Amino acid sequence: MTGTDEFGFPIARGFPTIDTPGMAQVDLLMVQFYGISLPQMMENAGCALALVARRRYLPGDLADRHVVVLAGFGGNGGGAMVAARRLAGWGAQVSLVPSGSADALKGMPADQCAILKAMGILPGEVPRMPPDLILDGLIGYSLRGAPEGRADALIDWANRQDAPVLALDVPSGFDAINGTPHNPFIRADATLTLALPKSGLQDGGAANATGALYLADISVPPALYRRLAPPLDVPPFLDGDIMRLL
């Protein structure tokens, strides 16, 4: 560790990067070898996102602080909805904006949305009231080509707002593996990437997409990385669950 950033997050160096096939291997080993489920990982991811949101953007009392959560139909959207739940629990006013009809959500994102509905947070359109913060959970590392449809429109909307955008895992529309910015892509003020930094996020050119780059521990055992092909040597998160990388 080489100190902390201005928000008190430990600054870390020396975490290797990982690509999409590598992350697919990580997910597989987490579930099949260790029995750590995707919902468990999603819970860790969303909690970490809410913690970065609170400490970096919403210090103090969260009452009257308004957060818009943009949620896609995959794991990225599910993680953002966990963060929505945590922020609402801490008193923030949360608007949930899915990238399509919420009735069409399936699997874990549908489960997360059902929890939010039970809490009285109903999916809807982008609110007229300007937010204090936007969470980008539209598309993660499974982006395929330039954003289309509602995701495209919501990325444009987010980039037009005065409020900062905090992206989950990767800024939506930015190919985090090869570093390609598609049109459009989220211009985040900060990005919280999960498990390991994705290979395209560490290049200098990625900085205008990611903003400040953080890394969250989602409880991948370091020994898992030594089982990958090729194996990776990953240090433990000794100094905190959330590290500042760039």
Q: Which residue, 151, 125, 121, 115, is CA-closest to 136?
A: 151
Q: Which does 23 bind (CB under 5 to 8 A by kind): K ion, ligand NAX, none?
A: ligand NAX
Residue nearest to K ion (CB): 172
For residues 12 to 51, the per-residue mask of contacts with ligand NAX, x marking binding by CB under 6 A and - elsewhere, is -----------x--xx----------x--xx--x------
146 marked ligand binding residue: yes
In order, the DSSP letters of 120-168 are T--B-SPPSSPPSEEEEES--TT--SS--HHHHHHHHHHHHSSS-EEEE
| Least distance from ligand NAX to the Cβ atom of residue 144, Å | 4
For residue 95, report the phi and psi dihedrals to the nearest 5 degrees. Answer: -110, 125
Q: Determine the length of the chain.
A: 246
Does 210 help bind K ion (rule: CB under 5 A)?
Answer: no
Q: And the tokens for 3?
A: 């100190």
Q: Which residue, 168, 130, 137, is CA-closest to 69?
A: 137
Give the Cα-Cα-Cα angle 207, 53, 93 (nearest 5 degrees).
130
Task: Give the residues across from 168 on adjacent strands.
Answer: 192
Residue nearest to ligand NAX (CB): 140
| Least distance from ligand NAX to the Cβ atom of residue 55, Å | 20
For residues 182 to 211, the per-residue mask of contacts with ligand NAX, x marking binding by CB under 6 A and - elsewhere, is ------------xx----------------
Q: And the tokens for 196?
A: 């390991």
204 marked ligand binding residue: no
How many C-beta atoms surround the C-beta of residue 39 within 10 A? 14
Beta carbons of 186 and 221 less than 8 angstroms apart: no
For residues 38 and 246, which CB has a smaller minimum distance to ligand NAX in the complex? 38
For residues 126 to 165, the per-residue mask of contacts with K ion, x marking binding by CB under 5 A and - elsewhere, is ----------x-----------------------------
Binding region for (6S)-NADPHX = 75-79, 140-146, 169
Using CB under 5 A, list all residues that contact K ion.
76, 136, 167-168, 172
* Residues near ligand NAX, by CB under 6 A: 23, 26-27, 38, 41-42, 45, 72-79, 139-149, 151, 168-169, 194-195, 218
**Residue ranges at the known binding site for K(+):** 76, 136, 172
